[in-house]
Amino acid sequence: MKIGFIGMGNMAQALCEGFLQSGSIDSKDVYAYAPHQDKLQANARRIGFTPVASATELAKAADMLFVACKPYQIEAVLSGIGDALANKALISVAAGWTLEKYELLLAKLSDPAKDEGELLLDSVRVQCVMPNTPAMVREGVFLVETDHSLRPEEREFLFSLLTPLGLVHELPGHLLAIGTAVTGCSPAFVDLLIEAYADAAVRYGIPRADAYPLISQAVLGAAKLQLVTGKHPGELKDNVCSPSGTTIRGVQALEEHGFRAACMASVDSVMNPS
Ligand SMILES: NC(=O)c1ccc[n+]([C@@H]2O[C@H](COP(=O)([O-])OP(=O)(O)OC[C@H]3O[C@@H](n4cnc5c(N)ncnc54)[C@H](OP(=O)(O)O)[C@@H]3O)[C@@H](O)[C@H]2O)c1
């Protein structure tokens, strides 16, 4: 199976590097297109894929196309590819796109007066996936929409690419938005947390260069402990809070400053932009 990336930005680079480094696919089977060809060629030399000069050329070269441009660009990009899209498998990583939305677009792009148009609507297969940036270090989360139109062997191949890069979890289309909020956006929220605790460490004398790795390792360790033990986070918190101890004072301060409410409000803001 040959794969192609439409767009080679942050997310596509993370996926492409991950797929190649984990040995799930050979570099000769990986192609990519992006408008800024100098940048694309520099990335191609660094990562090891074959750069191509147009999205149509990409569609001709690859069987499975990863749609990794910005969500608002997708309609124009796919309509520009036209009939070369027929018989391809599309793997979309774009926020806000679901199988239903792609089917509406493919119907719109299919011209019933043209045989090729009918083929396009019937023949293009779609799977929406929401990755997150920790995929770069093989600790990603991949939300895979339950509804899809991939062939079984294509889905199996896709899972074989994603699994080495993190947790692969199926979600129905109507839960992808909240799933994206809590897994796609949360790395930024946790980065804020790391930065804030590092500031506190600096405030009390730890050099900044030491503060980031210390806090990040503590966050990583707490997350891993929860994942490995499967324990309720409240129980793990209780284990650290000895009676009359210092940690419970910190917990109290977080509660007084509305920490949990702030976390939940951050997700409300993602879900209800205005
Ligand atoms: N970053 C994340 O954390 C994250 C998480 C989940 C999902 N996603 C999704 O991943 C997708 C890409 O996001 P990103 O963060 O990687 O964005 P990005 O770094 O800005 O990359 C966008 C890519 O799209 C390319 N592009 C622009 N116009 C194009 C066109 N007409 N045809 C083909 N490619 C075109 C750009 O090429 P040039 O550089 O040559 O202009 C660039 O390579 C988005 O749909 C986003 O929703 C991102």
Select 3-176's CATH number: 3.40.50.2300, 3.40.50.300, 3.40.50.720, 3.10.20.30.
Answer: 3.40.50.720
The pLDDT confidence band at residue 114, using thresholds 50, 70 and 90, is low
Q: How many residues does the chain have?
A: 274
* Substitution candidate for ligand 1 out of 11, 136, 137 with most atoms within 8 A of CB: 11
CATH superfamily assigned to domain 186-271: ProC C-terminal domain-like (1.10.3730.10)
Measured in Å, residue 3 CA sits from the centre of ligand 1 at 17
Per-residue pLDDT tens over the stretch 43-88: 999 999 999 999 999 999 999 999 999 999 999 999 999 889 999 9
Question: What gap in Å lies between CA 147 and CA 126, rounded to an integer?
Answer: 9
Mean pLDDT of the chain: 95
Measured in Å, residue 202 CA sits from the centre of ligand 1 at 36
Measured in Å, residue 13 CA sits from the centre of ligand 1 at 10
Question: What gap in Å lies between CA 65 and CA 81, rounded to an integer?
Answer: 12
For ligand 1, what atom is nearest to the CA of residue 94?
45
Using the predicted structure, report yes or no on whether residue 156 has a pLDDT greater than 70.
yes
Copy the structure tokens of residue 209.
């260069």
Residue spans per domain, the chain: 3-176, 186-271
First to last CA, the chain: 42
Per-residue pLDDT tens over the stretch 178-188: 999 999 999 99
Per-residue pLDDT tens over the stretch 6-37: 999 999 999 999 999 999 999 999 999 999 99
Would you say the CB of residue 52 lies under 6 angstroms from ligand 1? no
Would you say the CB of residue 95 lies under 6 angstroms from ligand 1? yes
Quick one: pLDDT at residue 82? Answer: 85
Long-range contacts, 168-172 (Cβ 8 Å, 24+): 168/142, 168/144, 169/141, 169/142, 169/143, 169/144, 170/143, 170/144, 170/145, 170/146, 171/143, 171/144, 171/145, 171/146, 172/145, 172/146, 172/147
Question: What gap in Å lies between CA 274 and CA 22, rounded to an integer?
Answer: 40
Task: Give percent of the chain above pLDDT 70.
Answer: 97
Cβ neighbours for 80, distance < 8 A, ≥ 6 positions apart:
55, 56
Measured in Å, residue 71 CA sits from the centre of ligand 1 at 8
For ligand 1, what atom is nearest to the CA of residue 71?
45
Per-residue pLDDT tens over the stretch 197-245: 999 999 999 999 999 999 999 999 999 999 999 999 999 999 999 999 9
Per-residue pLDDT tens over the stretch 84-113: 999 999 999 999 999 999 999 998 888 665
